[in-house]
Amino acid sequence: MLAGFGYQYASFDAQDGARALREAVRHHDARLEEYEQACQALLDGVSIRNAGNVAAYDALLRAICGSAGSAAAVV
């Protein structure tokens, strides 16, 4: 889910960690706007205010509970 966000490196690999740190120092400011947009898109995709998420949650609750009421009404 978070692949491609931030500066990643292989677990416990100090050389790869150093490479990621150099990459951050050299290029972070130039990519800041793009990074912020990508982060916002990620957050919007998992937000409780995302209409698609609310509809999916409502459908799951209806399937589990068999309720005729709308779960979305409480959001």
Which range of residues forms the domain containing residue 57?
14-74
Helix (H) or strand (E) holding 25: helix 14-27
**Is residue 7 included in any domain, yes or no?**
no
pLDDT band at 66 (very low <50, low <70, confident <90, very high): confident
How many other CB atoms sit within 10 Å of the CB of residue 25? 10
- pLDDT of res. 72: 54
User: How many domains, the chain?
Assistant: 1
**Is residue 29 included in any domain, yes or no?**
yes
Q: What are phi and psi of 69, to 5 degrees?
A: -80, 165
The predicted model gives 4-15 an average pLDDT of: 76
**Is residue 67 included in any domain, yes or no?**
yes
- pLDDT of res. 25: 92
**The model's pTM:** 0.57
CA distance 67 to 75: 16
**Is residue 45 included in any domain, yes or no?**
yes
- pLDDT of res. 58: 94
The predicted model gives 14-36 an average pLDDT of: 90
**Is residue 50 included in any domain, yes or no?**
yes
